[in-house]
Structure 1
Amino acid sequence: MSKRHSVKHKIDRRLGENIWGRPKSPLNDRAYGPGQHGQRRKGKLSDYGLQLRAKQKLKGYYGSVTEKAFKRLYTEAARVKGDTGENLIGLLERRLDAVIYRAKFVPTVFAARQFVSHGHILVNGKRVNIPSYQVKVGDKIELREKSKQLAIVLEATQLAERDVPDYIEVDHNKMTATYARIPALSDVPYPVQMEPNLVVEFYSR
């Protein structure tokens, strides 16, 4: 199983943005990168640098996605008819761990991966423990009965810092969610601007 070795706050500081919109992000107090050279003025990025940064930001946002898995999603997005950038966002938002995070069953995308891996989630009544599982429109996602009263779940549902997007229908009383539709980029509540078009350019080089 892939592990995230970097500290979440360091990801924010390295990218120079509070990519999850967390109130406790160090960028709220120190809007510069980590390390002794973090406060130095940065030069202008090349086109390649901008594309790489866009890819790192989008991949980093979903927390658990490895480079190999992310490249696979891009290849699938390019194969399907339509705008490749929009298709990529749709595929990322169909990941089971992303849906669990969007439904506010857990507080972070990192917790979502662990939550799914530990077998707390049912999809259409069957247990699924693969975070990258692709949810389909109409699928019903729910917490296992013994998982509904976990402290992490109860705390997450009360988070005021983010709302459930309208492409996921959630009942927090029953701890169920239905994937209503595949979102467009403009539907996804990213706290910062994501540029999937630059990601497409990066892989198209």
Structure 2
Amino acid sequence: MSKRESSKHKIDRRMGENIWGRPKSPVNRREYGPGQHGQRRKGKLSDFGVQLRAKQKLKGYYGELREKQFLAIFEEANRRKGDTGENLVGLLESRLDAIVYRAKFVPTVFAARQFVNHGHVTVNGVKVNIGSYLCKAGDVIEVRERSKQLASVLEATQLAERDVPEYIEADHNKMTATYVRVPALADIPYPVIMEPNLVVEFYSR
């Protein structure tokens, strides 16, 4: 099992939820946590515990971002006008690796970051190899010509387990995706309930 696969499964089991909706998630077989004490009955979480869990789940969903990265995104969301929780998920979905994942160019968000880092995509015709690059509405993301026939890319576009959301227009013949608009929380196809409001409470303590 690759490091990314084990990390992905570890997050699922720790949360006790199939946070990406993947058919191979170990949670589909057993919902308890990893390790010899995973089946112990869990006590009721404190308010802090509930907030922490919400943060870990949202952070883990986007490829287990480092705390420093995630905090920087939160602080930017807090600086912007409007609802901080909505701003937070909007910024997370505007990341280049998130858009590559949503457009179904790759099977997982972990693969999306690697795909971008290896220089397989362009934004408005310019190669970008930084997964955290923030795209703007109207930006066109394209898989580079030499990468369009990669087996992993072709397989990902055929995945039936998820659809391309409305805020992204994907053309799998040309391997392009247009980031139409920054989504609201209600627009984002999370397989599980995400609670960015609790993340805001966590950082506002």
The TM-score normalised by the length of structure 2 is 0.97
* Coordinate RMSD, CA, aligned: 1.2
Q: How much has 1:17 moved relative to structure 2?
A: 0.5
Specify whether residues 96 and 64 from structure 1 end up closer, same or farther in structure 2 by C-alpha distance, changes over 3 A only. Answer: farther
**What does residue 111 of structure 1 align with?**
111
Runs of 4+ that moved beyond 3 A: 3-6
Query: What's the counterpart of residue 9 of structure 2?
Result: 9
- Which secondary structure does the structure 2 equivalent of 1:170 belong to? strand
Matched length: 203
Alignment map for 1:47-126 (pairs within 5 Å): 47-126=47-126
Q: 1:64–1:31: structure 2 CA closer, same or farther, 3 Å change rule? A: closer
Q: Distance in 1 between matches of 2:171 and 2:128?
A: 20
Q: Which runs of 5+ in 1 are unaligned?
A: none
TM-score, structure 1 normalization: 0.97
- CA 1:129–1:64 in structure 2 vs 1: closer, same or farther (change >3 Å)? farther
Deviation at 1:136, TM superposition (A): 0.4
Residue matched to 1:24: 24
Change beyond 3 A, Cα 1:143–1:5: closer
User: How far apart, CA to CA, are the structure 1 residues paired with 2:150 and 2:98?
Assistant: 19
- State the Cα distance separating 1:7 from its structure 2 match: 2.3
Q: Taking every aligned residue pair, what percent have the same amino acid on both sides?
A: 79
The equivalent residue for 2:193 is 193
**What is the distance in 1 between the residues matched to 2:120 and 2:32?**
38
Partner of 2:43: 43
Deviation digits for residues 111-144 of structure 1 (CA, Å, limit 9, x no counterpart): 0000000000000000000000000000000010
Query: Is contact 1:116–1:131 with CA below 8 Å preserved after alignment?
Result: yes
Closer/same/farther in 2, CA of residues 5 and 192 from structure 1, 3 Å limit: closer
- C-alpha change, 1:54 and 1:64, in structure 2 (3 Å) is closer
| 2:184 counterpart residue number | 184
Q: Indicate yes or no: 2:128 matched with 1:128.
A: yes
Cα distance in 2 for partners of 1:78, 1:203 equals 10
